[in-house]
Amino acid sequence: MKKVLVTGALGQIGSELTLKMREIYGTDNVVATDIRKTESAVVQSGPFELLDVTDEKEMFNIAKKHEVDTIIHLAALLSATAEKKPLLAWNLNMGGLVNALETARELNCRLFTPSSIGAFGPTTPKDCTPQDTIQRPNTMYGVNKVSGELLCDYYYHKFGVDTRGLRFPGLISYVTPPGGGTTDYAVEIYYEAIKNKKYTSYIDKGTYMDMMYMPDALAAIMGLMEADAAKLKHRNSFNVSAMSFDPEQIAAEIKKHIPDFVMNYEVDPVRQSIADSWPNRIDSTSAKEEWGFKAEYDLEKMTKDMLVKLGFKSLLITA
């Protein structure tokens, strides 16, 4: 990657990935775009363009203007929001991806777009979910992700576009507030633990989902994009995960540092049904073998870092 265009640069992943890539590849070599403009570091620290990803002509013009060789396409509606607005989700998630693929095809760019464990469904094997397995999601978000995986494969085989992608689990970050995902409880819980010493989970007890701390997610994106293309067999749908836990386990980890933290439950039927359709734990073997994926953070290490970064002053650091 020499010059990169990022769509959805003010979102959960983009807001951190853009700054990280500017550190590595140079400030002027990472062009951030989003449908809105803020006073954030992403906007202030380097080139920024307003972009509605459903506008194919404008996306092409911006990419051509900046002479990019790589597109990181992140703009999308997340799972819970997509269920509330399914037609908007289809038009944005799929329309934006088609425009990004067409831009990449016309300008000979490499393209990354994230998939998700949402691409799996209730008939997918729940435990140690294989890289290649049945995918019959029952959510609009999941349908978008499966369609996106297939579409990226098509552009690779049909047009030779160097498309790459990861099936992300829930992503946990201290930088960007939750944005409509089913796994957002695992972010909200840390904020509420510090602020109020209690949290009401909309996901029920015993519900396991794969998760990853954002530093590992950023490293995975850049690791995949820098990987030798000849060694990639799956390209657009690598399973990646760092940990799998249920709400009780993350609460127990927080209680090690905030002993009077209390977890309550008020289950949201929509998000619970989405969570129930996803795997408990996925198998990341293909990512490890094909391009060296490795996660550095487990639940214990992540919890310590989250609490410190969010300003908790009395963290009990243990050996």
What is the CATH classification number for the domain harbouring 232? 3.40.50.720
pLDDT in tens, 59-114: 999 999 999 999 999 999 988 889 999 999 999 999 999 999 999 999 999 999 99
Residue 52 shares a structural domain with residue 127: yes
Q: Is 185 a residue of the active site? A: no
Residue 20 shares a structural domain with residue 121: yes
pLDDT of res. 314: 59
- Domain for residue 175, yes or no? yes
Residue 234 shares a structural domain with residue 150: yes
Q: Does 34 have pLDDT greater than 80?
A: yes
Q: Does 318 have pLDDT greater than 70?
A: no
Q: Which of 153, 185, 171 is nearest to 302 (CA)?
A: 171
Residue 247 shares a structural domain with residue 123: no
* CB of 286 closer than 8 Å to CB of 220: no
Residue 85 shares a structural domain with residue 230: yes
**Number of domains composing the chain:** 2
- Domain for residue 314, yes or no? no
pLDDT of res. 208: 96
Q: Does 309 have pLDDT greater than 70?
A: yes
Residue 46 shares a structural domain with residue 178: no
- Mean pLDDT across the chain, nearest whole number? 94
CA distance 191 to 266: 18
Residue 120 shares a structural domain with residue 257: no
Q: Which of 64, 146, 177, 156 is nearest to 112 (CA)?
A: 156
- Domain for residue 302, yes or no? yes
* CB of 317 closer than 8 Å to CB of 270: no
Residue 197 shares a structural domain with residue 93: no
Q: Does 51 have pLDDT greater than 90?
A: yes
Q: Does 201 have pLDDT greater than 70?
A: yes
Q: Does 48 have pLDDT greater than 70?
A: yes
- Domain for residue 106, yes or no? yes
Q: Which amino acid is at 262?
A: V
Residue 165 shares a structural domain with residue 29: yes
Distance of CA 164 to the CA centre of its chain: 14
- Domain for residue 287, yes or no? no
pLDDT in tens, 295-306: 999 999 999 999
**Average pLDDT for 225-232:** 95
- Alpha-carbon distances of 83 from 4, 36, 42, 140, rounded to whole Å: 31, 23, 29, 6
pLDDT of res. 297: 98
Residue identified by tokens 């959510």 is: 139
CA distance 161 to 163: 6
pLDDT of res. 181: 80
Residue identified by tokens 């002053």 is: 313
- Alpha-carbon distances of 98 from 147, 149, 155, rounded to whole Å: 11, 12, 10
pTM over 0.85: yes
Domain that holds residue 178: 170-211+242-280+297-309
**Average pLDDT for 265-274:** 94
Q: Does 319 have pLDDT greater than 50?
A: no
Residue 42 shares a structural domain with residue 82: yes
Q: Which of 128, 142, 84 is nearest to 286 (CA)?
A: 128
CATH for 178: 3.90.25.10
Residue 266 shares a structural domain with residue 182: yes
Residue 108 shares a structural domain with residue 179: no
pLDDT in tens, 139-179: 999 999 999 999 999 999 999 999 999 999 999 999 877 66
pLDDT of res. 178: 66
- Domain for residue 317, yes or no? no
> How many Cβ atoms are within 10 Å of 252's Cβ, its own excluded?
15
- Domain for residue 62, yes or no? yes
Q: Which of 25, 141, 154, 156 is catalytic?
A: 141
Containing H/E element for 210?
strand 209-213
- Domain for residue 67, yes or no? yes
